[in-house]
Chains A and B, each alone.
Chain A
């Protein structure tokens, strides 16, 4: 059952030093935090069958994840391709080259006005398609990224004991969401505070220019699980840099600006909540910022430095408003969509129940949606484990995506089923040239439907069929039928299909191992 590949040569660099900063206030000071998720994602990549010996790791990164992957690639004999952009620090660039990394810098001027992040992802997809045995860790959507932090949580509770509050910056979402989830298994009351910066869309700010690396970006990563957070703070760059200097001058810790931001918020929270144990996450050291954050000349060019800096946050009513200084918002463990639509959490408002009931009557209100996947997104669905008796009937993600990466994305469409920011299921729709022999050209066929074991029993199987039908009605109006082939031995799947509106066609396909019944739904006539 347990077959793990261990890549632990750099293990001693993975965990932070725990520094007591004040009564009840602890800093978790990492050398290079991303080593922890990088190592775990690679180990699990091997376990899932995605990463082969000597294979090539391909990732889009201009930050420390790239460095962590490069260090591990050297240790364990993998090749590494990084797609990056102008924001890649020149010293980091040199270091990566020394480590044998193939780096491609994508320039900003892309055709069709596509954002730089999307351009990087497009280029990455080309590499993944060209290079056999290539593996994309996909830190923004890989569920193993947050899972990596179980080890960090272990260290924290062993050193600190009871923890009341966890505070840290949010980039991919892995460290804060992962650690919070693990700690809440023990301390359900744990107060989690995310630290962000104005104009970062992660927590509902309108998009704009963000000048602190490690934060912000134009895409909200899947791994940012908004429901983990009780409170969100936004700090301006000047405020972050001041926190960074205070952390250095007051405690001797030479850390990066996101650490400074976490420190500033944690110090305030700890002072206003005496007697509580607070942990602040400091993701990386200050060396990359010697010529910026730690340089007086550079600092003097920062807007608002050093005059316009708040010493405590201003509570705001909505995260969408324009922010001019340190602000905080009671997030109350809601999804981003719930916050945007003004839905109140039960712990925040008394009349929430009625609002919830009315909003939850539709799939959209339930927070359910389909998300299209690229043919390289295998890690995004790897956490959807099945019971052993179901495994027999459904191809594992490694097999499904091995097939997908060699097939045209115009006729095979991979989808995630997302409910309240959680990826609960997955399926593939095939049309035209990709149709199996038993399906007529007027149909679209449904394949590889999988609802994660821990999400089963909530009607998500039916939901998936409904969302598939909806997608077809909207995107393929000429299609009249959705069809599926179910192994005759797979009673549970057959029942699910029948209760989702499928009807037997009487047709039987021989299948590779055993016969399959062909079922079909007639979509609305037009």
Chain B
């Protein structure tokens, strides 16, 4: 017997550490990315079964989540069912922080929880991509993955999870939102595509050695290459402040407006450096906020 209700939860992210085009083991190219997860940003979905086959949703503007729930029922339920989804999320919209994907994933997970089935993450991603055209890698929390976000497949699983990262979040255009789906996919040149290879090589080493310094070099180079597709106002000013206070690198939302200055939580001076960088950012007219690895953990544990 089904329970009458199912719950699902998915996290947002703070943009990407690397985004580009990458080769799979057969030599074919795919658009792909690795997200910087942000576990305190969550979307929570509840699915309550109703009679009939219709699915409804609150808030009503979450149409992609509604569609995802329909697709999930179609694919995984033995008997068609209708229901009502309600979504609560604290993920900012239009910043490139995965609000829409998190809603979609939370909805699918809520339906699955109701149906009491556990399909592979691969088939969950397929449903998510079908509902949303693109998706991110936040579902994979145990192991870092390079993820083909438009196809919903893993290009490469790394040997480890991402190392803990502290960062200062800056919204470079708080008055604008970016509609992810209306963005044209970046037209990378052949030279740029080949440049993603060494970035991927260094990412592999950074993750397996938990070397945040190298990871910072990867994300900084990725931000630089992608700058011509979605410019972040005053990126250089933010970067200069980061250099001043020992940030390991900068990372950006490739389909949004947020930028992160990354710091190494194992460095004793990081707390002080982040405070000072934050104050410099403020006096430069930014509205920064600190996201520390510790606070992330606390919030997750509650």
Residues of A whose CB lies within 8 Å of any CB of B are 1-2, 4, 6, 8, 44, 143-144, 147-148, 150-151, 153-159, 161-162, 182-183, 185-187, 383, 385, 387-388, 453-454
A6 touches B214 (CB 8 A): no
A353–B167 Cα distance when bound, in Å, is 39
A153 touches B189 (CB 8 A): no
CB within 8 Å of A: which B210-236 residues: 211, 213-214, 217-218, 221, 224-225
| Complex interface: chain B residues within 8 A of A151 (CB) | 194, 197
A385 touches B189 (CB 8 A): yes
Is B191 close to A, CB under 8 A? yes
B195 touches A182 (CB 8 A): yes
Query: Which A-chain residue is minimally distant from B217 (CB atoms)?
Result: A186
B176-207 interface code vs A (CB 8 A; 1 in, 0 out)? 00000000010101110011111111101100
A144–B195 Cα distance when bound, in Å, is 13
A182 touches B28 (CB 8 A): no
B28 touches A185 (CB 8 A): no
| Complex interface: chain B residues within 8 A of A155 (CB) | 201
| Complex interface: chain B residues within 8 A of A185 (CB) | 195, 198-199, 221, 224-225
What does DSSP make chain A's interface, helix, strand, loop or mixed?
Answer: helix
Residues of B whose CB lies within 8 Å of any CB of A are 21, 26-30, 185, 187, 189-191, 194-202, 204-205, 209, 211, 213-214, 217-218, 221, 224-225
Q: List 14 A-B contacts (CB under 8 A).
A: A2-B21, A44-B190, A150-B197, A157-B198, A158-B201, A159-B205, A161-B211, A161-B214, A182-B194, A182-B197, A186-B202, A186-B217, A385-B190, A388-B187
| Complex interface: chain B residues within 8 A of A8 (CB) | 27
A186–B195 Cα distance when bound, in Å, is 9
A157–B195 Cα distance when bound, in Å, is 12
A233–B205 Cα distance when bound, in Å, is 32
A387–B191 Cα distance when bound, in Å, is 15
- Contact A158/B187 with A4-B29, A150-B198 known, Cβ cut-off 8 Å: no
A161–B214 Cα distance when bound, in Å, is 8
What does DSSP make chain B's interface, helix, strand, loop or mixed?
Answer: helix
- Contact A154/B197 with A161-B211, A161-B214, A454-B189 known, Cβ cut-off 8 Å: yes
A144–B29 Cα distance when bound, in Å, is 17
- Contact A183/B198 with A2-B29, A383-B190, A388-B187 known, Cβ cut-off 8 Å: yes
| Complex interface: chain A residues within 8 A of B28 (CB) | 2, 4, 6
Query: Which B-chain residue is minimally distant from A383 (CB atoms)?
Result: B190
A154 touches B198 (CB 8 A): yes
B211 touches A153 (CB 8 A): no
| Complex interface: chain B residues within 8 A of A161 (CB) | 202, 205, 209, 211, 214
Q: Report the minimal beta-carbon distance from B252 to chain A, rounded to whole angstroms.
A: 16
| Complex interface: chain A residues within 8 A of B21 (CB) | 2
Query: Which B-chain residue is minimally distant from A187 (CB atoms)?
Result: B217
A185–B108 Cα distance when bound, in Å, is 39
A387 touches B187 (CB 8 A): yes
| Complex interface: chain A residues within 8 A of B194 (CB) | 147-148, 150-151, 182
User: 8 smallest A-B Cβ distances: which pairs?
Assistant: A6-B27, A150-B194, A154-B201, A2-B29, A158-B201, A153-B198, A154-B197, A150-B197
A383 touches B191 (CB 8 A): yes
Q: A157-B205, A383-B190, A454-B189 are in contact. List 11 more A-B contacts (CB 8 A).
A: A1-B185, A147-B194, A153-B198, A154-B201, A156-B201, A158-B202, A161-B205, A185-B195, A185-B221, A186-B217, A388-B187
A159–B190 Cα distance when bound, in Å, is 24
| Complex interface: chain A residues within 8 A of B26 (CB) | 6
A161–B209 Cα distance when bound, in Å, is 10
Q: Report the minimal beta-carbon distance from A158 to chain B, rounded to whole angstroms.
A: 4
Query: Which A-chain residue is minimally distant from B206 (CB atoms)?
Result: A161
| Complex interface: chain A residues within 8 A of B30 (CB) | 2
| Complex interface: chain B residues within 8 A of A156 (CB) | 198, 201
A161–B200 Cα distance when bound, in Å, is 12
A445–B221 Cα distance when bound, in Å, is 43
- Contact A158/B195 with A4-B29, A186-B218, A385-B189 known, Cβ cut-off 8 Å: no
| Contact with B198, one of A147, A186, A388 (Cβ below 8 angstroms) | A186
Indicate the member of A155, A186, A387 with the most B CB atoms within 10 Å: A186
Q: Report the minimal beta-carbon distance from B294 to chain A, rounded to whole angstroms.
A: 27
B205 touches A150 (CB 8 A): no
A251–B217 Cα distance when bound, in Å, is 32
Q: Report the minimal beta-carbon distance from B59 to chain A, rounded to whole angstroms.
A: 35
